[in-house]
Amino acid sequence: MTIDNNQRLFERARTVIPGGVNSPVRAFKAVGGTPRFITRAQGAYFWDANDQRYIDYIGSWGPMILGHGHPAVVEAVQKAVTEGFSYGAPTEREIELAEAILALVPSMEMVRLVSSGTEAAMSALRLARGATGRKHIIKFEGCYHGHADALLVKAGSGLATFGHPTSGGVPPEAVQHTIVLEYNNVAQLEEAFALHGNDMACLMIEAIAGNMNFVRATPEFARRCRELCTQHGALLVFDEVMTGFRVGLHGAQGVLGITPDLTVLGKVIGGGMPLAAFGGPRAIMEQLAPIGAVYQAGTLSGNPVATACGLATLTEIAKPGFYEALSAKTRTLVEGLKSAADAEGVPFSVASEGGMFGFFLFDELPQNYATVMTTDNARFNTLFHGLLDRGVYIAPALYEAGFVSAAHSDADIAATIEAARQIFKTLAA
């Protein structure tokens, strides 16, 4: 009998790491089975502990937009490593990365670098409260902004009421100022502002949501978010940790043509290293310490190796034609999947923007979290495991978006569609 090295590692991991993983979705809890333990990655592929190769549509949950091991990025990181890992003092490279980000995101006049999307969203929230002197915040069901207490919250019982904690360890008091609304529901949004607009610090949103699979804010909903914030003196915060430099060179704000007050970035700006950021107009950003009264700090913030990785990544994605090629590739994938599903009579809908995509096992694209969650788990799991068995790795949960990189070849896309076609036959039966 052959030894399953993934299983062996999973058992070992579970004795020393809670659930065997350092971030919950990696554990395959939603889909069942054994998580793959990855040993190496190159281009569009990674290999597990059994030396099985997978076409990777997770890309480290978004950052690996160039694919794994891009030569220019590897070279920049190798050089940076020889110069020292971390100084705890400022570097020129931090300025270069800040300048590169600001040049691509016109709504931002200043940026602060941090180490994770959670940290960036949490800091943006504190800054919004500090800058406005207000308490309340709006977030939307199905949007994820990292695991800061005030953002781990589900909707309250009534319309536009305050939420309840979704995690143990979060006291109700920590979420008592968080209002959770339904995504794309303009009436609820208007009601929340009518009731609480005077004390609203900010509205935080994934304007193209990637944490309930892939759901776009409708143009009207996005426009009303902007208008109501302006009208009530609240800050509009776009969480672009996932969409920033992923759906296009100017993020979801570029796609939607909406200018937020604050932007939260992560994932792609670090190219796979721990790096994230938040930024906005100078007048707001200068309320941060050491100039202003809003405290925020980090031992590893602006880390020299991470910034080298981020800068090299941004240099590559800013090259002419990058997003046109990436978008075309992603469209080929989702349209191919849709045709294959249609041919077998399997209800299926798809969406993509830039290098980010989603698909649903029903005909209509959903507009909110509740509809996404009506997906038949068993059918999704059949698709997930069928693809995995055929060497295609998609997110092990139906509420996650997928990511295509510049390294995915036409042959990879064709192989993925062919693998899905075989599974659609069983789903149709």
Cβ(198)–Cβ(190) under 8 Å?
no
Cβ(407)–Cβ(322) under 8 Å?
no
Scan residues 268-287 and list those touching ligand PLP (CB under 6 A): 276
262 forms part of the interface with ligand PLP (CB under 6 A): no
Cβ atoms within 10 Å of 244's Cβ, excluding its own: 30
Scan residues 75-134 and list those touching ligand PLP (CB under 6 A): 116-118, 121
φ, ψ at 313 (rounded to 5°): -65, -45
266 forms part of the interface with ligand PLP (CB under 6 A): yes
Torsion of the alpha carbons at 85, 87, 89 and 93, rounded to the nearest 10: -20
Q: Return d(Cα 182, Cα 12) in angstroms, integer.
A: 41
Active site residue 144: yes
Scan residues 194-253 and list those touching ligand PLP (CB under 6 A): 206, 210-211, 239, 241-242
Cβ(391)–Cβ(52) under 8 Å?
yes
Q: Return d(Cα 390, Cα 380) in angstroms, integer.
A: 15
Catalytic residue chosen out of the listed positions 45, 54, 183, 267: 267
416 forms part of the interface with ligand PLP (CB under 6 A): no
Cβ(174)–Cβ(107) under 8 Å?
no
Active site residue 267: yes
Q: Which residue is nearest to ligand PLP (CB)?
A: 117
Amino acid identity of residue 382, one-letter, is: T
The mark string for 151-170 relative to ligand PLP (x by CB under 6 A, - otherwise) is --------------------
Active site residue 393: no
Nearer to ligand PLP, 48 or 119 (CB): 119
Nearer to ligand PLP, 136 or 246 (CB): 246
Considering the complex, what minimum distance in angstroms separates the CB of residue 119 from ligand PLP? Answer: 7
Distance separating the N- and C-terminal Cα atoms of the chain: 33
What angle do the packed helices 410-428 and 377-389 form, to 10 degrees? 140
How many chain residues touch ligand PLP (CB under 6 A)?
16
Among the candidate windows 139-147, 159-167, 177-185, 345-353, which touches ligand PLP by CB under 6 A? 139-147
User: Which residues participate in catalysis according to the annotation?
Assistant: 144, 239, 267
| Interacting residues with ligand PLP (CB under 6 A) | 61, 116-118, 121, 144-146, 206, 210-211, 239, 241-242, 266, 276
